[in-house]
Amino acid sequence: MARTIYYTAMTLDGFLATADDSLDWLLTRDQDPRGPLNYDDFFAGVGAMVMGATTYQWVIDHEFAGKDPSEWQWPYTIPCWVLTHRDLPAIPGAPITVAQGNAAEVHARLQDASGDRNIWIVGGGDIAGQFADAGLLDEIIVYLAPVTIGAGKPLMPRHLELRLEEVARNGEFACARYTVIREPGGTATGKQEA
């Protein structure tokens, strides 16, 4: 059965990125590309993905730095939704849909696009939290880096109850897979009331 999975990495003190969206703490870490909970095996099961505007802009700023927009080549071939209320640069020919709306509406479109394959919530934490609030987040897979940064963008800016399913070491990282615990009715346990 297809699952909606937040697959990411964080610092020991719970941040995805610094306050200015730097991932320098992550990009220098050693990991085994064929080790436990590795990206390639995870991505092989993914049929669609969703991210926020900050993550999308990070990809543009780091993957396409110094290139003319006509040379930009989106690194993913699967359908991608970017949730935002702001204008973002377009990537010619990329399977990207810029969308507004609630997580349930977007999730239905993601499911249609992914078929029987998984949906990847790339980031950030608030995007994953919106899917959790709607009862649509099934798992979190996280790589925990041996570094603290003191402040930044949190992994999940809300209360969420999880059940540990798997834990391993991959290079410098501790990595874990969690199932999101849901209340009767499907919403994630720990959801903050509006």
> pLDDT per residue over 124-136, tens digit each?
999 999 999 999 9
pLDDT tier, 194 (very low <50, low <70, confident <90, very high otherwise):
very low
* 60 DSSP 8-state letter: H
Task: Compute CA distances 60 → 31, 56, 124, 157, whole Å.
Answer: 24, 6, 15, 25
Instruction: Give the mean model confidence (pLDDT) for residues 19-24.
Output: 93
pLDDT category at 185 given cuts 50, 70, 90 is: low
Domain boundaries, the chain: 4-176
Q: Cis link prior to 124 (omega < 30° from 0)?
A: yes
Inform me whether the pLDDT recorded for 32 exceeds 50: yes
pLDDT at 172 over 50: yes
CATH number of 4-176: 3.40.430.10
Q: What is the pTM of this model?
A: 0.92
- What pLDDT was estimated at residue 70? 84
User: Per mean pLDDT, which range of 75-79, 137-141, 181-185 is the poorest?
Assistant: 181-185
A 10 A CB-CB count for 13 gives 13
Q: Where are the beta strands (DSSP E) in 33-159?
A: 46-52, 80-83, 96-99, 118-123, 139-145, 153-154
**Average pLDDT of every residue of the chain:** 93
Per-residue model confidence (pLDDT) at position 182: 86
* Lowest-pLDDT range of 54-63, 111-120, 149-158, 170-179: 54-63
pLDDT at 14 over 70: yes
State the pairing for strand pair 173-180/162-170: antiparallel
